[in-house]
Amino acid sequence: MTAAAPAPTSMIDRIAQILDAFDGPGSLTLTQVVSRTGLPRSSAHRILEHLVRVRWLRRDEHSYHLGLRMLELGTLAGHHHELRGAATAHLHDLAHSTGMVVHLTVLDGPDIVYLDKVGGRFGVRVPSRVGGRAPAHVTGAGKALLAYADESVVRSVLSRPIRVPTSASIASEHRLRSELARVQDRGVAFDREESATGIGCVGAPLGTPGSPVAAISVCGPIGRMNFE
């Protein structure tokens, strides 16, 4: 169960926290929203109903879903993102030539955010989605970015319990720092079933050497990956 966050004070903060609670597929009930946000039930209900009226959310009999207006705004933001626009053709070319799933990502604190995802039938097995997040330290693209990030960013990963999605995930500061040093030496990063069992990825930074603005990763069945 997700621990409730401290209750925000301003109305904008409350709206943002409610919308952040929908970071994932599916719907939420009022009780689930209250649990995830820490807001009083009456306040959460009032804000949810207002968001329904302005089409940011939609409601069925017992639960709330992200609404069409959120989809419209998110799609508009994605299409106008300069990085995504510049990389799209190259992502499709790489996916076609490798037969793998290709991601374009940026670093946001201790996480990566997926700006784009291109791939064939195997794509449904890779637990990623455009606009979604993943811990940077267990992904190829994330490690490719962390290796060149400020020390404060690396510390933000280490300042909280290190997430270990699989038994292969990095789980200690020593191992993480050693891995990031190897990324700097070889220029690429590997994910050997660290983010999802059965899946491997190779990630590389994009942009000025030593100061990347994004990263690209190629992911596929672990048995088809070559980490040499």
Separation of alpha carbons 202 and 169, rounded Å = 15
Pairing of strands 57-59, 64-66: antiparallel
Q: In this structure, what token pair is assigned to residue 138? A: 């267990």
Separation of alpha carbons 198 and 127, rounded Å = 11
CB 59 within 8 A of CB 48: yes
Helix or strand (DSSP H, E) at 11: helix 11-20
CB 119 within 8 A of CB 101: yes
CB 82 within 8 A of CB 76: no
- The pLDDT value recorded for residue 224 is 87
Beta bridge partners of 191: 201
- The pLDDT value recorded for residue 193 is 96
Separation of alpha carbons 170 and 47, rounded Å = 39
- The pLDDT value recorded for residue 86 is 87
Q: Which residue has the tokens 């649990």?
A: 35
Distance of CA 81 to the CA centre of its chain: 16
Say how many C-beta atoms besides its own lie within 10 A of residue 137's C-beta.
Answer: 27
Please tell me the chain's helix, strand, coil percentages from 3-state DSSP, rounded to the nearest 5.
45, 20, 35
CB 202 within 8 A of CB 140: yes
Q: In this structure, what token pair is assigned to residue 16? A: 């943002």
Low-confidence ranges of the chain (pLDDT < 70): 1-9, 72, 75-80
Give 117's contacts (C-beta < 8 A, 6+ positions apart).
101, 102, 103, 104, 123, 126, 128, 129, 130
